[in-house]
């Protein structure tokens, strides 16, 4: 994943609709040539089905801070992330925020094919996605049980991730939370073939805090502590995992 500090030109607008027209036309080579497919739900599909999928898909691009959809919005599309990272968050009426998670390359957004979204999705980096019209996608799903099976598998995986995260939120100390977060992110990057020792952190400290049920100060302190303990090295835009073993020990998973 390429994480640039920020897009040079400011966002053209926050309405993704203005962006839904293909900037580059359909991605070169289409789904068949797409290297994200291997790690995504699309892997369930074969030649002819892929063509159908491609027919209902558009490539869209978001600048950092641009909102893909808001909590409660009607879900008239579902998405597959092909580049960059999104933040998925929920707001409590009184303004408290929880970051449910981050959608990375290969992640499918709208897995459950819901009527309405339950989270807000915002780009953290420049993001590229395949946008599938929900109605058309649902029709495809009806025809291809294979695809539904794959979606369901993925939903099951998300469910276990959610369980892990609940355990983390409810029963772990601040240091364990931060260590586990870093390891979890590494595992997810590894799953999509990114195995660098340097972990890019496309999200800001506040996002991490809201994800782990901590304050920004505590996250900062714990990262500093891990750095002092030589488990990690804080670098611009991320951290270098100097001693993953130590980190695993601290994460107590």
- H/E run at residue 200: strand 198-200
Residues in contact with its own copies, shown as a per-residue x/- string from 100 to 129 under the rule CB under 8 A:
x----------xxxx---xx----------
221 binds DNA (CB under 7 A): yes
Q: How far apart are CA 25 and CA 33, in angstroms?
A: 15
Closest contact distance (angstroms) between CB of 119 and its own copies is: 7
Question: Are the beta carbons of 219 and 178 closer than 8 angstroms?
Answer: yes
Please say which residue, 1 or 111, places its beta carbon nearer to its own copies: 111
- Among the listed residues 159, 197, 234, 252, the single contact to DNA using CB under 7 A: 234
Binding residues among 166-195 for DNA as defined by CB under 7 A: 173-175
Please say which residue, 11 or 215, places its beta carbon nearer to DNA: 215
Binding residues among 34-93 for its own copies as defined by CB under 8 A: 90, 92-93
- H/E run at residue 128: strand 127-133
Closest contact distance (angstroms) between CB of 104 and DNA is: 18
Binding residues among 42-71 for DNA as defined by CB under 7 A: none
Q: How far apart are CA 101 and CA 22, in angstroms?
A: 27
173 binds, among its own copies, DNA, none (CB under 5 to 8 A by kind): DNA
214 binds DNA (CB under 7 A): yes
Q: How far apart are CA 70 and CA 83, in angstroms?
A: 20
Instruction: Give buried/exposed letters for 176-198 (b at 16+ CB in 10 A, else e).
Output: bbbbbbbbbbbebbeebeeeeee
- Among the listed residues 223, 232, 247, 251, the single contact to DNA using CB under 7 A: 223
- Among the listed residues 46, 118, 196, 206, the single contact to DNA using CB under 7 A: 206
User: Which residues sit opposite 108 in a β-bridge?
Assistant: 80
139 binds its own copies (CB under 8 A): no
How many separate helices (H) and strands (E) can be counted in the chain? 8, 11
* 66-74, 123-131, 138-146, 212-220 -> range binding DNA (CB under 7 A): 212-220
Please say which residue, 83 or 158, places its beta carbon nearer to its own copies: 158
Binding residues among 146-185 for its own copies as defined by CB under 8 A: 148-149, 151-153, 155-160, 162-163, 165-167, 169-171
234 binds its own copies (CB under 8 A): no
Sorted by sequence, the CB contacts under 8 Å of residue 118 that are 6+ apart come out as: 71, 72, 90
252 binds DNA (CB under 7 A): no
DSSP SS3 for 251:
helix
Q: How far apart are CA 144 and CA 251, in angstroms?
A: 41
């Amino acid at each position: 994943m390429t994480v640039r500090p920020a897009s040079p030109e400011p966002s053209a607008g926050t309405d993704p609709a203005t962006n839904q027209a293909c900037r580059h036309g359909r991605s070169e080579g289409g789904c068949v040539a797409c290297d994200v497919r291997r790690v995504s739900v699309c892997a369930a599909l074969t030649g002819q089905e892929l063509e159908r999928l491609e027919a209902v898909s558009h490539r869209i691009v978001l600048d950092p801070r641009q909102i893909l959809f808001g909590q409660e919005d009607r879900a008239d599309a579902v998405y597959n992330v092909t580049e960059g990272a999104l933040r998925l968050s929920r707001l409590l009426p009184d303004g408290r925020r929880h970051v449910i998670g981050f959608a990375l390359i290969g992640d499918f957004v709208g897995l459950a094919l819901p009527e309405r979204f339950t989270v807000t999705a915002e780009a953290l980096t420049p993001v590229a996605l395949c946008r599938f019209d929900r109605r058309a996608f649902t029709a495809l799903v009806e025809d291809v049980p294979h695809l539904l099976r794959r979606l369901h598998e993925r939903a099951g995986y998300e469910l276990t991730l959610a369980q892990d995260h609940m355990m983390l939120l409810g029963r772990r100390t601040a240091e364990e939370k931060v260590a586990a977060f870093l390891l979890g992110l590494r595992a997810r990057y590894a799953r999509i073939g990114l195995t660098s020792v340097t972990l890019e952190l496309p999200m800001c400290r506040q996002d991490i805090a809201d994800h782990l049920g901590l304050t920004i100060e505590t996250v900062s302190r714990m990262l500093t502590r891990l750095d002092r303990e030589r488990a990690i090295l804080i670098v611009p835009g991320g951290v270098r995992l100097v001693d993953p073993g130590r980190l695993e020990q601290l994460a107590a998973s």
